[in-house]
Amino acid sequence: MRNQEYLRQRYAAIVSAVGMILLMGGILMSSPLLVLLVDREEFAHAASFIEPAGSMILLGWVLWRGFRRPLEHTLTVPEGGIVVVVSWILVILFSAWPFTSILGLAYSRSVFEAVSGWTTTGLSVVDVATAGRMVLLWRSVIQMVGGAGLAVLMMSAVVGPVGVGITSAEGRGDQLAPNVRRSAHLVLIIYIGYALSGILAYRVVGMSWFDAVNHSFAAVSTGGVSTRVENIGYWNSAAVEAVSVVLMILGNMSFVTAWLLWRGKLRLVMKNGEVRLMAFLIPVSIAAAFLWTTSAIYPRMEKAIRVAVFETVSALTTTGFSSVVYDDWNGFGVFMLVVLMLIGGGTCSTAGGIKQFRVHLLWRMLCVELRRQMLPRTAVSECAVWEGDKRVFVDDGRVRQVMIFLFVYLAIYVLGVLNLCACGFRLA
């Protein structure tokens, strides 16, 4: 009987957590209605957001309040995994509805758009030339929230230790503070600070307020959707590109690293392997792109350098912003961008990819292994890396986990490439 009661409490905790995320998702889905304050023509599309948002809020409230219990234990990582999977599926299904209702997309394509947004992938089936402002803002909002993570959003509003398992299950185990809720608050403060700074900077360099909001959200979330068909290339402005580069790098940076910078611990930041790898990759990639690709395409040196800087940073941060089309790019330039995208951004950041920390760790282990081969057998050679503000020693188990992740990641990538080739796409 005691075990049955315990299981009921755990199931109730899971359902309640899912309800909280749905409730927050419904509130977020109401945010595009703010467009009605400046664009009366969008009133015709208001119901397409009010109905699913209201349904999410109602369902979330019922689940949250109906199954809420005093929690004596934190959610475990497996329980958090259930919460994350179920809540993400439900939120995606609800958030896809406006794309079908307003744009007339098949629901499967709308789900594709929603998944791309929440995961900050950046692939889109929406024709931005004909889409209304509410739809465009909704795409940017789901990227912005997806970049921070639904779990982080929830934990900023919930008191107690329930979020430990959820944030860990969503891949955000590094904490900025001992308390989970405090850590989530700090992440949101940093993240919203990035976005607000980006909005103001974009407005100063010539964007409209609407474009500034959307592109700031897309840049800091490293999602890359745009309100323009030509993407960032629409403005053909060095100032706009410079603002975008700064925001993309901030989005690429681990929140832990950003917190250390805010606290003035520059020395610890410079010891971080991710920061060192990024500081190496960006200038080397820019130089390579300029020498072997952009200098041959764009006659003006200023334009060639601008394109090299912007495209390499966009690729490494997995943002996907573009200032040019790639029809004239040679194979070297395109392949280099693909490699940079695979490497990806920092751990516990909004960027995707393999993650710079894993790449740095494997490089360090390679160096240690080569050193071991040249030293006597009695010599002790350990691998230590800086992770956040801590120096940690890497054991064989950690390396095994990274190798397994790398194998699975690259296997999925290769299978995806083969699948697209089978569908008729060129390899490039």
pLDDT value at residue 290: 97
The band of 150, judged by pLDDT with boundaries at 50, 70 and 90, is: low
Report whether pLDDT(23) > 70: yes
With b for 16 or more beta-carbon neighbours within 10 A and e for fewer, the 123-160 pattern comes to ebebebeebbbbbbbbbbbbbbbbbbbbbbbbbbebee
Report whether pLDDT(157) > 70: no
Kindly report, residue by residue over 214-239, the tens digit of the pLDDT: 999 999 999 999 999 999 999 999 99
User: Would residue 212 count as lying in a domain?
Assistant: no
pLDDT value at residue 370: 83
The band of 180, judged by pLDDT with boundaries at 50, 70 and 90, is: low
State the DSSP string of 257-293: HHHHHHTT-HHHHHH-HHHHHHHHHHHHHHHHHIIII
Percent residues over pLDDT 90 in the chain: 58
Q: Closest Cα to residue 98, out of 150, 149, 47?
A: 47
pLDDT value at residue 26: 93
pLDDT value at residue 379: 66
Sign of CA dihedral 357, 362, 363, 365: positive
pLDDT value at residue 387: 76
Residue 392 φ then ψ, to 5°: -120, 145
Kindly report, residue by residue over 31-68, the tens digit of the pLDDT: 999 999 998 889 999 999 999 999 999 999 999 888 87
Looking at the whole model, is its pTM more than 0.95? no
User: Would residue 123 count as lying in a domain?
Assistant: yes
User: Would residue 6 count as lying in a domain?
Assistant: yes
Mean pLDDT over all residues of the chain?
Answer: 87
Kindly report, residue by residue over 295-347, the tens digit of the pLDDT: 999 989 999 999 999 999 999 999 999 999 998 999 999 999 999 999 999 88
Rounded to an integer, the average pLDDT of 108-118 is 95
Residue 291 corresponds to which tokens in the numbers above?
A: 């020498």
pLDDT value at residue 174: 58
User: Distances from the Cα of 25 to the Cαs of 136, 138, 400, in angstroms?
Assistant: 17, 12, 37
pLDDT value at residue 223: 92
Query: Domain limits at 115?
Result: 1-167
Question: What is the rounded distance in angstroms from the CA atom of residue 353 to the CA atom of residue 341?
Answer: 6
The band of 280, judged by pLDDT with boundaries at 50, 70 and 90, is: very high
State the DSSP string of 43-111: GGGTHHHHHHHHHHHHHHHHHHHHS----SSPPPHHHHHHHHHHHHHHHHHHHTHHHHHHH---HHHHH
With b for 16 or more beta-carbon neighbours within 10 A and e for fewer, the 217-229 pattern comes to bbbbbbbbbbbee
User: Would residue 331 count as lying in a domain?
Assistant: no
Rounded to an integer, the average pLDDT of 237-264 is 92
Rounded to an integer, the average pLDDT of 274-288 is 95
pLDDT value at residue 160: 46
User: Would residue 118 count as lying in a domain?
Assistant: yes
Most confident range, picked from 177-186, 242-251, 381-390: 242-251
Question: What is the rounded distance in angstroms from the CA atom of residue 85 to the CA atom of residue 220?
Answer: 24
Residue 261 corresponds to which tokens in the numbers above?
A: 């910078």
Rounded to an integer, the average pLDDT of 143-158 is 68
User: Would residue 368 count as lying in a domain?
Assistant: no
Number of domains in the chain: 1
CB 224 within 8 A of CB 310: no
Rounded to an integer, the average pLDDT of 19-24 is 89
User: Would residue 324 count as lying in a domain?
Assistant: no
For 160, residues 6+ apart whose C-beta sits below 8 A from its C-beta are 71, 181
User: Distances from the Cα of 119 to the Cαs of 17, 89, 99, 158, in angstroms?
Assistant: 20, 12, 17, 23
CA angle 243, 31, 98 (to 5 degrees): 105
User: Would residue 174 count as lying in a domain?
Assistant: no
The band of 159, judged by pLDDT with boundaries at 50, 70 and 90, is: very low
Rounded to an integer, the average pLDDT of 281-285 is 97
Sign of CA dihedral 415, 421, 424, 426: positive
Range of lowest pLDDT (80-94, 196-210, 242-256, 332-346): 80-94
CB 192 within 8 A of CB 216: no
Question: What is the rounded distance in angstroms from the CA atom of residue 358 to the CA atom of residue 376?
Answer: 28
